[in-house]
Structure 1
Amino acid sequence: MKALPKKLLWTLLIVLVTILIYTLLPRVWYKKSTYGTELPQSSLLPAAIKNNLSKFITDTAQNAQAVVVLHNEKIILEAGDTEKLINCHSARKSMMSVLFGIAKEKGFLTLNETLGQLGIDESKMPLTAQEKSATIRDLLMARSGVYLPAEAETDFAKAHRPKREQYKPGEFFFYNNFDFNVLGAILEKKTGKTIGEFMEKYLAQPLGMQEFAPSNIVYGNPWPVRSDNSDYRVYWMFLSARDFARVGALVAQKGKWNNKQIVSAQWIEESTKMYTDSLDESMWPFDGYSYLWWLDKDNNTIWADGYGGQFLLIDTTRNLVLSQRNFTGNSLITSGLFQLKKKRDGSRRQLMYVYDHLKNYIKPNN
């Protein structure tokens, strides 16, 4: 058998090394922010309780997990690598709710603007007149009435997608990535900034986020092949557990951080009001949906929820916030390795266990 020419062998080696480097390159690079401030520690919890809960979190973790619990803007419990940048996955949508509140109050947009007025359309799957009548508010409620394939949509969305124009905008709740991905494009169009730039100026800096940079927002899945034809890319937010918790504290404190109003109390009330009160049982403990936030009316809590165990649990009556993160990958190869795990999703029950124990030591404020 004739040996391959040396030139071809070198070419193949270069190609293989290039592919390897590509799969290893992180999507985001860790960087300390210049405006970050340390979160103070609290001695509210007895040491034995902190140790027991930390051990529970570590022992029950499926992946590289980090948890931060804030009370009155102070850390009362911390476990794992809380500085690590981790993809928020669908919890990005709740972050977007806060950003839209800020954008609205800064005069960049109004919630009654329609897709038609905003120039939103699909080149390969043009929107109908009915679909173009959907407003920003409809998208925030996941009630756009636009039922088109979208990047990074769930298997549930693919299996249960209504027919086009089956429901008018505002009529029917459907957890559809078209709505969420388009909201990112609208924010950029109306503000003239990337999501990362807007988030840094109006949210990360005021909150003193310690690990944030505009480059923490990346677009598109890491996989080179797409299964949709949408013009609107998914955007991913990589946040540390402690920076994630700050956003929860902002909501818990009716838009305030460090006694400064970042977004109005009126927006927090409007954006966390229940607009959908009927959900699939698999969404326990959630029984409602607002502007991109999940609601648990039995415990009077507000949640952000993302694939792989990205949770933000907010108890406004106690000014208590639990941030839970599970590492799902930051490169093509680490994302692929996460996909190979049999048990990938973090558990809401795990976080509820911690929350239920904390309630014994933190009474409601009112």
Structure 2
Amino acid sequence: MRSLNIVAAALTAAVTVTGFGSAALAQSNDPDRWLTPTMIDARASMFMPSLNYLTFQHMDQMFATRSVAAGDSAWDLPEAPMSLEGDYTILGETTDLEGALERTRTNALVVLKDGAIVYETYRNGSGPDTRFLTFSVAKSYTSTLIGLALNDGLIDSLDDKVTKYLPEMEGTGYDGPTVRDVLRMRSGVAWEERYEFGSETQLTQVHDNSLVAYRYRWCDYAATESEPGPNAPDAVFNYATLDTSVLGCIVERVTGRTGAEYMSEKLWAPMGAEYDAYWIMDGPDDVGREFYGAGLASTARDHARFGQMFLQGGKANGQQVVPEEWVREATVADEGYEPFAPGAPMGYQYQWWTDAGSDVFMALGLHHQFIRVDPTNNIVIVKISYTQEPVGRDEENEELFAQITAKLTQ
């Protein structure tokens, strides 16, 4: 499988909530708003295949959120329309463009070539102002916040231990790995990112308790329940949404601000985002944190701006927003780290996936969300999907991207 960054299993409507009996189980001062049975059931049912095309567009009506404010000056992307019409062959079946978009269950597609929007479409009631939740695409944004905090001198070194910034992690699975280890998903923490519907897997338990029932925060779990796994830090790649949550909490600690506030000031406004984004929370505003591993909702065009900024070495809206050195370090796999496992087609750097056969790098998310950056062809593709399956339909998307690229470069 190519897209391994899946952050939540589809949940049954009946959620079994388990608690840890600690101070971390803070409850909202406004339980009528977020903790009613109806709201808990809605959050538990957000992956329902027949409705996820819609729920993924309206997460702010089910979750507590925190806004990421855009600035006064949007980055005006030029438009240079190019036709993408013609035949597309997806898994051996030939169809037209609309058929390919339906086959791959597409809500939105934005394509940039040479810095201009060459194609843009919205489907299923969405539009340019729709803020889609794109799940683990958020990991690449959280990584960028780490890079900005490093550039601001708030993080001394990526080789510092996590416990230097989060001393409450001492004695847990995060007592040992460095910030760099966590960025690479090589923390060594005992974590199984497994998705089985209605199961009692570790991921499902934390998801149900934090995001669904608002019983505790992801970072509270890391600080009270995480344990070292069988592998030492940096030894083995093990995809863990819990790692990204810890990165986000490092950002909070070193900046003294919420992740949304820091992101607005240092990234979203300077980049020239057109619309406010928002993070869904793992609790009401008085106790919750941004769901750093998979909780950012943004318009497709603003995702495209983010991808184009990385394609341009961190430059956007007339200024250097992200240090060029960080862009390279975050998206180009170091020797020995690609592929992430023997024979795998992909690598993993700092919360970005890399293609072992090219210079393409991607932010990927549950249910097949993509920010695909192709430096060789100067193309950025944002695809927002609503597949029934959370993972496993990567080949058809790769075929679509290859045929779009061919039409733009022939």
TM-score tier by shorter-chain length is 0.7 to 0.9
Assess, with a 3 A threshold, how the Cα gap between structure 1 residues 79 and 353 changes in structure 2: closer, same or farther.
Answer: farther
| SS of equivalent residue, structure 2 residue 136 | helix
Alpha-carbon distance in 1 for matches of 2:138, 2:389: 22
The answer to whether the aligner puts 1:219 opposite 2:262 as a matched pair is no
Match of 1:119 among 154, 166, 174: 166
Q: Match of 2:140?
A: 94
Contact 2:347/2:353 (<8 A) preserved: yes
Larger Rg: 1
User: CA RMSD for the aligned pairs?
Assistant: 3.7
Assess, with a 3 A threshold, how the Cα gap between structure 1 residues 148 and 354 changes in structure 2: closer, same or farther.
Answer: closer
Alpha-carbon distance in 1 for matches of 2:75, 2:290: 32
Q: Match of 1:172?
A: 236
Q: Match of 1:39?
A: 77
Match of 1:253 among 299, 303, 312: 312
Q: Give the CA deviation at 1:292.
A: 0.7
Contact 2:366/2:391 (<8 A) preserved: yes
Q: Give the CA deviation at 1:324.
A: 1.0
TM-score by length of 1: 0.73
Give CA-to-partner distance per residue, 1:23-46, whole Å, 9 cap, x none. 673435999945334432113x23
Q: Match of 2:195?
A: 155
Contact 1:61/1:346 (<8 A) preserved: no
Report the AA paired with residue 272 of structure 2. G
Alpha-carbon distance in 2 for matches of 1:34, 1:289: 31
Q: Give the CA deviation at 1:48.
A: 4.1
The answer to whether the aligner puts 1:73 opposite 2:119 as a matched pair is no
Identify the structure with the greater helix proportion: 1
Give CA-to-partner distance per residue, 1:322-343, whole Å, 9 cap, x none. 011135xxxxxxxxxxxxx854
> Which runs of 5 or more structure 2 residues have no equivalent in the other structure?
1-31, 43-60, 89-94, 204-225
Give CA-to-partner distance per residue, 1:3-33, whole Å, 9 cap, x none. xxxxxxxxxxx99xx6547767343599994
Q: Give the CA deviation at 1:279.
A: 4.3
Contact 1:41/1:76 (<8 A) preserved: yes
Alpha-carbon distance in 2 for matches of 1:137, 1:29: 27
Q: Give the CA deviation at 1:243.
A: 0.9
Q: Match of 1:293?
A: 352
Alpha-carbon distance in 2 for matches of 1:315, 1:175: 23
> Which runs of 5 or more structure 1 residues have no equivalent in the other structure?
1-13, 223-230, 328-340
Contact 1:113/1:136 (<8 A) preserved: yes
The answer to whether the aligner puts 1:106 opposite 2:152 as a matched pair is yes
Matched ranges for 1:167-316 at <5 A: 167-213=231-277, 216-220=278-282, 234-235=291-292, 236-275=295-334, 276-279=337-340, 286-316=345-375
Alpha-carbon distance in 2 for matches of 1:234, 1:94: 13
Alpha-carbon distance in 1 for matches of 2:275, 2:97: 23
Alpha-carbon distance in 1 for matches of 2:274, 2:145: 18
Contact 1:143/1:173 (<8 A) preserved: yes
| SS of equivalent residue, structure 1 residue 247 | helix
Contact 1:40/1:75 (<8 A) preserved: yes
Q: Match of 1:5?
A: none
Q: Give the CA deviation at 1:233.
A: 7.4
Alpha-carbon distance in 1 for matches of 2:378, 2:400: 16
Percent identity over the alignment is: 25
Match of 1:352 among 394, 398, 405: 398
| SS of equivalent residue, structure 1 residue 351 | helix
Contact 1:147/1:176 (<8 A) preserved: no
Assess, with a 3 A threshold, how the Cα gap between structure 1 residues 135 and 245 changes in structure 2: closer, same or farther.
Answer: same
Instruction: Name which structure has the greater RCO, CA cutoff 8 Å, separation 6+.
Output: 2
Contact 2:70/2:268 (<8 A) preserved: no
TM-score by length of 2: 0.66
Match of 1:141 among 184, 197, 207: 184
